Amino acid sequence: MIYNEFEEFAAALPPMTALIGLDLGEKTIGVAVSDRMRGVASPLETVRRKKFTLDSARLLEIIADREIGGVILGLPKNMDGTEGPRCQSTRAFARNLSRLTEVSIGFWDERLSTVAAEKALLEADTTRKRRGQVIDHVAAGYILQGALDRLRFL
């Protein structure tokens, strides 16, 4: 089921299950996962987008293998808070994914998550080539960590 309100998403989560965070891009999907206590987000991998069926198959494999209890999708709102074409694409992805799994799906405002990830990688003196390889799943980690931090206060 898809939840537009974060509080409703949080209430629907089964206890002691990990969450998965996704940073949807046109060419890639950054993937991060949490621990079962939902304290720490860890970047996992970047899925190269091909077709929805192949992309979703990989995501569902991760969800099953790690016994994921909820999916957090980064919602790429405009800086003024409005939703544009990228948000519509993300919501469409959520609708399609929800047809394939019973796992709850929620959204997290991802504004500036890639900027924060890029800054962290620069501070870690990561090479340009390596940054290109990991930026998406590091950004997914930022998205998921933001949601995990919010869960602590609900």
CATH number of the domain that residue 56 is part of: 3.30.420.140
Q: What are the respective helix, strand and coil percentages of the chain, to the nearest 5? A: 45, 25, 30
Residue 139 falls inside a structural domain: yes
Assigned domain for 80 exists: yes
In a domain, 33, yes or no: yes
Q: Rounded to an integer, what distance in angstroms lies between the CA atom of residue 46 and that of residue 44? A: 7
Specify the pLDDT at position 76. 87
Q: Residue 115: helix, strand or coil by DSSP? A: helix
* pLDDT tens track, the chain, 154 positions: 999 999 999 999 999 999 999 999 899 999 999 999 999 999 999 999 999 999 999 999 999 999 999 999 999 887 787 888 889 999 999 999 999 999 999 999 886 556 565 666 556 555 666 555 556 777 888 899 999 999 998 8
What pLDDT shows up at residue 80?
84
Torsion of CA 94, 146, 154, 35, to 10 degrees: 80
Q: How many structural domains does the chain have?
A: 1
The model's pTM is: 0.85
Domain for residue 1, yes or no?
A: no
Q: Tell me, what's the pLDDT at 96?
A: 97
